[in-house]
Structure 1
Amino acid sequence: MKTLTKVGVFLCTVLSSLLIFSSLGMAQDLPSRGPIPFATYDVNSDGFVSQDEFYNIRAKRIQQKVDQGMPMRNVGNAPDFELFDTNGDGKLTELELIKGQNAMMQERRQNKGKGFGGKGMMQQQ
């Protein structure tokens, strides 16, 4: 009986450790900056990103940033799923996601340093 109890405790400890490490691994898969990789969005590995997968991963990333005390600039300006779903089929291919992410980064680069009125800081005089 004691051996059975020890085995049970050992198995519970191992399973708990695996659950903890797998949840930590999920958080580590989400970069705190930059674009989220397609494979991270594609939770069920079907080769597409559904609207639910898209928003669930985004919510996890936002929560990760909150937990780390990171600034939450522009969180309200995050693009909607529909912006990436260029063919309107309700799912994203890897190419659609990458094109959308690249377009967002390009737009941010173009708007960087623009202050009130759409002018750069040096041009505001």
Structure 2
Amino acid sequence: MQKRRGMGQGRGMGRGRNMPIFSDFDLNGDGNIVENEFYQARNQRIAERAKQGYQMRNLGNAPSFADLDTNGNGKISAEEFTAHQIQHRQQR
């Protein structure tokens, strides 16, 4: 996964700066995230952050694929992903 600048880097965005973006999870670039992409990308992100020395807190609270696939069609759309990110930021 690549490092990004932009959303979340400015004042007032706080913890959002470390949140992944849709393309981090859409590994084949088809515009949807299927379950194996979701967990593969998550595991890559966890491994990268651990290598950087970040503590892996709250992994047990990480959302499941089904939590983001709100319409239950077996794919996470960009809209579903974004809606989850917004909800997550509001809960922090």
1:60 corresponds to 2:81: no
Could you list the structure 1 runs, at least 4 aligned residues long, displaced by more than 2 angstroms after superposition. Answer: none
How large is the RMSD of aligned CA atoms in angstroms?
1.5
Q: Deviations over 1:49-94 (max 9, x none)?
A: 1111111111011101111121111111101111111100010110
Q: 2:83 is aligned with what amino acid?
A: K
Structure 2: unaligned runs, 5 residues or longer: 5-16
Of 47, 52, 56, which residue of structure 2 is paired with 1:72?
56
- TM-score, length basis structure 1: 0.59
Whole-angstrom distance in 1 between the partners of 2:65 and 2:85: 11
Q: For the pair shown, which has the larger CA radius of gyration, 1 or 2?
A: 1
User: Structure 1 vs Structure 2: percent identity of aligned residues?
Assistant: 41
Q: CA deviation at 1:106?
A: 1.3
Higher RCO (Cα < 8 Å, 6 or more apart): 2
Mapping of residues 4-83 of structure 1, within 5 Å: 26=1, 29=2, 34-83=18-67
- TM-score, length basis structure 2: 0.78
Q: 1:62 is aligned with what amino acid?
A: I
Which structure has the highest helix share of the two? Answer: 1
Q: How many residues align?
A: 80
